[in-house]
Structure 1
Amino acid sequence: MPIWRSEDLKEEKIIGSVEELISEIEKIIAAGLMSQNPFEGFEVGNMSEENYAKIDLHKNIVDDIVLVSESGKPMKRESDLIDVWFDSGAMPYAQLHYPFENKELIDQNKAFPADFIAEGVDQTRGWFYTLHAIATTVFDSVAYKNVMSNGLVLDKNGQKMSKRLGNAVDPFETLAKYGADATRWYMISNAMPWENLKFDVDGIDEVRRKFFGTLYNTYSFFALYANVDGFKYEEKEVENRPEIDRWILSELNLLVKEVTEFYQDYEPTKVARAINTFVNDNLSNWYVRLCRRRFWKGDYSEDKISAYQTLYTCLETVAKISAPIAPFFMDRLYQDLNAVTGKDTAESVHLTNFPVANESQIDTDLVEKTHLAQTITSMVFSLRKKENIKVRQPLQKVMIPVLDKKTEEQILAVSELIKQEVNVKELHLINAEEAAGLIVKQIKPNFKALGSRLGKDMKMVAGEIQNFTNEQISTLEKEGKTEVAGYEISLTACGNFYQRYPQVDGSQRRQSNCCTRPDHHRGTKS
């Protein structure tokens, strides 16, 4: 501590800078208590590294400096140490050499307080505390606005890693084999940062194949045909593009909007999962798969140009919003894309502006009906697999229960696409009454939502919800709420609906009929 006290402890001096210390040393040399200035040659006001290399402020040097009090008594430095975490707590100012340099960065809140800090929970009484303690004492301010306290990295069985147990994973070997981006994406997408992570290298390999591999293959598909056709990017009105282009751009802008909110809320896990879903389910498995013929055809038509522009926009935007989590891969993807078009002047994705969602390009109705098409297609494929009916075998009919007119109209709007995807001749939409004899409905309560409201009555209400009849569930679906034991229960309190189907008998098998019901409440999980 820079505190000098007299032997009787009645006088003390607190030194706030090297300049002050040198001034005091000159006084004691004049008083005859010291013969030589240990900091001789140091130039006050010169902030260069060369100048500061001339002095040593370590304990063994400053302890030999004896100052003189106002009454002429010798003063020695306080020998006790302050908690060393206070050194770390001074980091926001010490790193800027405040107040001797960069004073405006702290005083004008340009570099202080921090938006967030991240450390383990064991720093609660250490770094987390001392940062705030110094900031509030000196500046009457917090030192940071948010804190992310990360959990532990455990082995794949949930055990703490240790050399003794032989379950420790060498991080350098992991990075060398799988790369930093795949490792980081796996860790962020697999568990919230504040939760403990069960670390399994097989999971990294899966991320590398299913996410990075899919994204790379999508880029390779684009690059192959774009190079053949000599594609040059130029803006085209989105409203004049085919419906499938407008759909993927709607999904893209919804993704940007969602991801932006997640980043701002310090929810990187939700960011990674949302991007992963978009790349795998929407971009690769749906858009590119359905648009392949547009890229294959020989003539360089407006339709083909629109497909190129749309896919380019998707890839470029994904690179930008994913860059904070996968900085190396996304920078290479961005640079490879931009090398062809010269669309951006920035040399790196990290020097570009973060994308902003274009609300005018979001067509909610188009997104909803395409989601219905995706859901119905997936469910029919599942039924085919369950009944061991191959996709190449055409089905005569698929029966789809619908609850409202809007859903019926949306399904009809994409009916041709669904029939083509699942290889079926007819879609038969049936209402709730017609579906009553075909579907046995079940409902699963959302215990988290119920518990926060009902307390001790939660189990009783949840039990009644689980025993709802088909009619009660239909009423809940239709009206959005119902009453149970005096409590009003909404759809959000009933997390998931399930349907069981009667066993398909022999005659039905021969007719190749299937019955499925799409979840028209998109994203209803709570």
Structure 2
Amino acid sequence: MRPLWLGRLHRGLSLVILPFASILPFDYVKVRSKYTGKVYVIAECLLSSIPVEKPKSSDSKTSSSKTKGAKTEKPMDSYELLQKFKGSELVNKKYEPLFNYFQEFSDAAFRVVADNYVTSDRGTGIVHCAPAFGEDDYRVCIENKIINKGENLVVAVDDDGCFTERITDFSGRYVKDADKDIIEAVKGKGRLVKTGSFMHSYPFCWRSDTPLLYRAVPSWFVRLEKLKDQLLENNSQTYWVPDYVKDKRFHNWLENARDWAISRSRFWGTPLPVWISGDGEEIVVIDSVAKLEKLSGAKVFDLHRHKIDDITIPSSRGPEFGVLRRVDDVFDCWFESGSMPYAYIHYPFENEEFFAENFPGHFVAEGLDQTRGWFYTLMVLSTALFGKPAFRNLVCNGLVLAEDGKKMSKKLKNYPSPMDVIDDYGADALRLYLINSPVVRAETLRFKKDGVYNVVKDVFLPWYNAYRFLVQNAQRLEVEGLAPFSLVSPTAQQNSYNVLDQWINSATRSLVHFVRKEMDAYRLYTVVPYLLKFLDDLTNVYVRFNRKRLKGRTGEEDCRIALSTLYNVLLTACKVISSFTPFFTEVLYQNMRKVCANSEESIHYCSFPQEEGEVLPNHFVDVLS
């Protein structure tokens, strides 16, 4: 496994870390065993972790008879306190390592430094540090000048997880199989104090469930730390929904931006276009096929590894310096994803005018986890190349979990089949359920199939009932021998004396205004609650109190005005919500369009309704009571 925080070709050594905090520093003690005379240095609060040492008795029976019934001896009872001090007093003291594999580095290493990541809940308050195998280890070694950023790291474990020849006593052994022998070697040196095991969290490969090893590997980096201020400035120019993801999570991530390891040791992937000489002194970065063909003299038809790895470039220093060969690494796939805004149009080799007119992009949308993935690489590469963000607006969604709160897993099958949900309730119900959930506010959602059913019950059934009531009463006109239903003139509708007609028309205009405003602000999560209120007003107020008019009991003309009003309200609502429920609204529209001449073939060809007239308060219904 390749940790992103490790540098390219660093050198690492072993050392000891003692914690020291300026607010609550640990107290350390120096104690001597009353029985063996051995001296120990340990955090005072962890003194109990040292085993109680007693001399071996020649007569076990006598020894057992003397101790029978006696109280268990405490660690402090068997040790003599020699000194008590703060951890800071131990800083820069040298120590003798357990093994002498790295003695040539003893000038810089094998000394005590302080850091506050060491805890006091277990262990001894003393932590061994190996910068090639841990993030905190590497950071502490850099901060204390044990190693320097950019230098080669001594990594004593090979690609197969086995000790290298430098570790002479265990060379070729798999690191996880050598524990017992290492313990025996330490014991043989008389330096073993205590052995034991404890459970702790550990990384495993999510595909094979095999344990992973942290190990530094040579990597190529993009120097991001110098871009940090510009990254933060470009982030401030973007608009995020929800905004706290931008201002908190993403901002904090950019503030702590580190150099980005863009190389991966794999076969499949976009090859790094870097050719390097055998002595490492000459490096050529290829920026086009034409340049590679010019420098190498070879014709290039395919940019995959197996087609270009054998292409060499003669050294510019002369034939005696040999040729340059491509490095083995390929790009981190996130580098390619972050290049999307310009790579997909083959910029800068073509489409320069199109790129200039459409960059930065209007909006992007992805999950919360992409604050450290795609959103990040989009921002980084755009800032480095163009000095501006890659997008203007961003919609960030949360993660959908199983009903039990765990990650959805095909292996565990802890979630219902999406196709079963769609077959039972429809794709539109599933869409509205997700849009009206915490997911669109970048929070987690425990997916429940019952929630999709509730959308059908609360949204689609009332909506469809209002539509069905319209169709039934429009058909009734012909059944009763009257002229077929047709829309009355807009003027007749607008001049309707009926207060309910005026109110529902106003409520519809308010719906148009609200959805347009919220969509302009990319706030999907506000629309469904407003739609529910609108449908409730339509079915439980307008249709309910207008039944006599809609059924023709107040006269044909009044009936046609009421039916036309209901028709226009339903048609407008379908157009407004068509992007949220594309299938349901299309079904309703295909029947309703028969009344209108020159109507569009699909609701998705229709323009979004325009705001007309004054937007009256949606609580106008209160006047009716």
Rounded Cα–Cα distance in structure 2 between residues aligned with 1:153 and 1:254: 32
Pairwise CA distance, 1:202: 1.4
Amino acid in the other structure paired with 1:177? D
Rounded Cα–Cα distance in structure 1 between residues aligned with 2:340 and 2:396: 18
The corresponding residue for 1:349 is 603
The corresponding residue for 2:274 is 3
| Aligned with 1:182 (options 429, 434, 438) | 429
Are the structure 2 counterparts of residues 84 and 164 from structure 1 closer, same or farther at C-alpha, using a change threshold of 3 Å? closer
Amino acid in the other structure paired with 1:17? S
Paired residues for 1:503-514 under 5 Å: none
Are the structure 2 counterparts of residues 164 and 100 from structure 1 closer, same or farther at C-alpha, using a change threshold of 3 Å? closer
Name the SS for the 1:287 alignment partner: helix
Under a length normalisation based on structure 2, what TM-score does the superposition of the two structures give? 0.51
Name the SS for the 2:330 alignment partner: coil
The corresponding residue for 2:367 is 120
Tell me whether 1:295 sits opposite 2:513 in the alignment: no
Are the structure 2 counterparts of residues 320 and 78 from structure 1 closer, same or farther at C-alpha, using a change threshold of 3 Å? same
Amino acid in the other structure paired with 2:608? F
Pairwise CA distance, 1:270: 1.0
The corresponding residue for 2:464 is 216
Q: 1:103-130 deviations in whole A, cap 9, x for unaligned? A: 222112x2x3233322222222221111
Paired residues for 1:71-220 under 5 Å: 71-73=317-319, 74-108=323-357, 110=358, 112-156=359-403, 158-162=405-409, 167-193=414-440, 194-220=442-468
Tell me whether 1:261 sits opposite 2:528 in the alignment: no
Rounded Cα–Cα distance in structure 1 between residues aligned with 2:312 and 2:278: 11
The corresponding residue for 1:277 is 533
Q: 1:116-154 deviations in whole A, cap 9, x for unaligned? A: 322222222221111111111222221122333322223
Contact kept? 2:548, 2:554, Cα under 8 Å: no
Tell me whether 1:319 sits opposite 2:590 in the alignment: no
Amino acid in the other structure paired with 2:310? D
Name the SS for the 2:443 alignment partner: coil
Contact kept? 2:488, 2:561, Cα under 8 Å: no
Paired residues for 1:61-80 under 5 Å: 61-73=307-319, 74-80=323-329
Amino acid in the other structure paired with 1:226? A
Are the structure 2 counterparts of residues 10 and 228 from structure 1 closer, same or farther at C-alpha, using a change threshold of 3 Å? same
Name the SS for the 2:275 alignment partner: strand
The corresponding residue for 1:328 is 583
Rounded Cα–Cα distance in structure 1 between residues aligned with 2:525 and 2:463: 19
Rounded Cα–Cα distance in structure 2 between residues aligned with 1:310 and 1:141: 50
Are the structure 2 counterparts of residues 245 and 355 from structure 1 closer, same or farther at C-alpha, using a change threshold of 3 Å? same
Are the structure 2 counterparts of residues 63 and 155 from structure 1 closer, same or farther at C-alpha, using a change threshold of 3 Å? closer
Q: 1:30-84 deviations in whole A, cap 9, x for unaligned? A: xxxxxxx4x4xxxxxxxxxxxxxxx321111111111234444522112233432
Q: Which deviates more, 62-71 or 215-224?
A: 62-71
Q: Which deviates more, 300-309 or 119-128?
A: 300-309
Amino acid in the other structure paired with 1:336? N
Contact kept? 1:236, 1:306, Cα under 8 Å: no
Ranges in structure 2 where 5+ consecutive residues have no aligned partner: 1-271, 478-483
Contact kept? 1:132, 1:142, Cα under 8 Å: yes
Rounded Cα–Cα distance in structure 1 between residues aligned with 2:580 and 2:456: 14
Q: 1:165-214 deviations in whole A, cap 9, x for unaligned? A: 76422222212222111111112113351121122211211211221111
Are the structure 2 counterparts of residues 256 and 172 from structure 1 closer, same or farther at C-alpha, using a change threshold of 3 Å? same
Larger Cα-atom Rg: 2
Indicate the structure with greater helix content.
1
Rounded Cα–Cα distance in structure 2 between residues aligned with 1:68 and 1:166: 56
Amino acid in the other structure paired with 1:61? K
Pairwise CA distance, 1:16: 2.2
Amino acid in the other structure paired with 2:283? E
Contact kept? 1:233, 1:343, Cα under 8 Å: no
Amino acid in the other structure paired with 2:566? L
The corresponding residue for 1:56 is 302
Tell me whether 1:247 sits opposite 2:503 in the alignment: yes
Tell me whether 1:12 sits opposite 2:12 in the alignment: no
> In percent, how many aligned pairs have the same letter?
38
Pairwise CA distance, 1:162: 4.5
Name the SS for the 1:149 alignment partner: strand
Amino acid in the other structure paired with 2:379? H
Q: 1:319-351 deviations in whole A, cap 9, x for unaligned? A: 11212211111222222211332353x322222
Rounded Cα–Cα distance in structure 2 between residues aligned with 1:98 and 1:336: 46
Contact kept? 1:153, 1:196, Cα under 8 Å: yes
Paired residues for 1:415-430 under 5 Å: 418=625
Pairwise CA distance, 1:243: 1.5
Are the structure 2 counterparts of residues 311 and 369 from structure 1 closer, same or farther at C-alpha, using a change threshold of 3 Å? closer
Q: What is the root-mean-square deviation of aligned Cα atoms in Å?
A: 2.4
Ranges in structure 1 where 5+ consecutive residues have no aligned partner: 30-36, 40-54, 373-409, 419-526
- Higher RCO (C-alpha 8 Å, min separation 6): 2
Are the structure 2 counterparts of residues 3 and 210 from structure 1 closer, same or farther at C-alpha, using a change threshold of 3 Å? same
Under a length normalisation based on structure 1, what TM-score does the superposition of the two structures give? 0.60
| Aligned with 2:595 (options 340, 354, 373) | 340
Contact kept? 2:435, 2:528, Cα under 8 Å: yes
Are the structure 2 counterparts of residues 298 and 129 from structure 1 closer, same or farther at C-alpha, using a change threshold of 3 Å? same
Are the structure 2 counterparts of residues 307 and 130 from structure 1 closer, same or farther at C-alpha, using a change threshold of 3 Å? same
Rounded Cα–Cα distance in structure 2 between residues aligned with 1:223 and 1:100: 57
Amino acid in the other structure paired with 1:323? S
Pairwise CA distance, 1:161: 4.2
Contact kept? 1:151, 1:197, Cα under 8 Å: yes
Pairwise CA distance, 1:100: 3.1
Rounded Cα–Cα distance in structure 2 between residues aligned with 1:225 and 1:278: 22
Contact kept? 1:155, 1:199, Cα under 8 Å: yes
Pairwise CA distance, 1:252: 1.0
The corresponding residue for 2:490 is 236
Rounded Cα–Cα distance in structure 2 between residues aligned with 1:197 and 1:275: 21
Name the SS for the 2:329 alignment partner: coil
Name the SS for the 1:359 alignment partner: coil
Name the SS for the 2:287 alignment partner: coil
Q: 1:241-289 deviations in whole A, cap 9, x for unaligned? A: 121111001111112111222222222121011112111x111111111
Rounded Cα–Cα distance in structure 2 between residues aligned with 1:276 and 1:174: 22
Contact kept? 1:12, 1:69, Cα under 8 Å: no
Rounded Cα–Cα distance in structure 2 between residues aligned with 1:224 and 1:156: 41
Contact kept? 2:368, 2:398, Cα under 8 Å: yes
Pairwise CA distance, 1:356: 2.7
Are the structure 2 counterparts of residues 179 and 62 from structure 1 closer, same or farther at C-alpha, using a change threshold of 3 Å? same
